[in-house]
Structure 1
């Protein structure tokens, strides 16, 4: 098999997770990729199929954890960011993952993982929200409505047409139908719990840039150069002052960098895997 001929993507299940992955001839690194709110592992398939990953010996796994893509959750599951952080840490340990890539919602889960300090690997966090005010207005409004019993139910019942209109210009036109169908896989009740748990976490912590800046993990924060999620000067200063966290701009990308510029995100993954700090106190 030549460098330009790679095995097709494989699908499997493990401990309640659904996984789609590449199959490099030789594995040097194992990378776990996790989706944003309303999204699924299929948003990563263009990246998984990129030959640069397999050529570099990267076994890349995009995954739908319980609570995503219609997958059931354990009894008593609270949909909190903290619970997802613990779940991802356990899965990463089982799969011997060297690098966790989280987009949007799971970038915020990645902040929690980095702050906890239990995961020994590296993290690439794509477009996290460092505070409630950074989030997009439509999602904030959805959270606010969700706390009003009757109104919240009506809003969530009618979410698909609103979501479709909002995503029309944000996903690649050639994949829009496919990806929007993926966004419809999760029940409204699960998505409502996910949004509530996400904003509860933001309200508890207020501002997450300082929380992330204290990590001992090597963490890169990637943002599109036209990202719709807010990023204040104070948050940027906190990230830039951290000895272990670095900010990376993704040219040509908005919030959905994994579908806007998949190869550029692949290159960022490869650079982070190859990165060697000058000394243990330097992450840049």
Structure 2
């Protein structure tokens, strides 16, 4: 059985950087049992109805502007898995979740940046998933929970986003490795809450977490909510471990959370 993961995808330039965080992602892939396939919820695919990517081979979406040319030349032509997409839909419908397939959408950078760092050969089938920030935290968790059985068949479930992700608060003058205190406080509250698997507190993070509205701006929670999908997918093995935490630009957090221990 594989664990589920939450992975911060950072800025698109992460795809071509080499630092402690990219090293951690590459090492993590080597430590996990090789997945048969990957189901990934990306912050950059928002939809009011749960959508499931069902392409045979995914195009690479360069959904950003103003970055170095080399980023736009990157391709990650992962294959899809229609049978797994259909199974995912069946599990969600059984849990009362409406779904629809998207046969043509490619992989946005929230998906391919993370996947390329972990599995650079693009040789593992992928089923991309949308997120819905308008749902309650419990509803987001429950969508992940509906998919927990997939982990028993060596399907890796990933939520890709960012726990502290607010462009209005980034510090362009921050030194490498420097972290703003408010961002650290939010991450430490989150660590205590996730490690204790305290769902009532997590669902009320906006009220209870320090600087929650700075870390997760009210105008956009799409980067935070993949955490809830990923955590829900390990509801049958309630163990949470933060594998990495570092910061870029003072407050943009690079974090890896593993949910469920996983077994061989």
TM range (shorter): under 0.3
Which structure features the higher share of helix residues?
A: 1
TM-score when normalising by structure 2: 0.28
TM-score when normalising by structure 1: 0.26
Give the number of the structure whose alpha-carbon radius of gyration is greater: 1
Q: Which has the higher contact order (CA 8 A, sep 6+)?
A: 2
Which structure features the higher share of strand residues?
A: 2
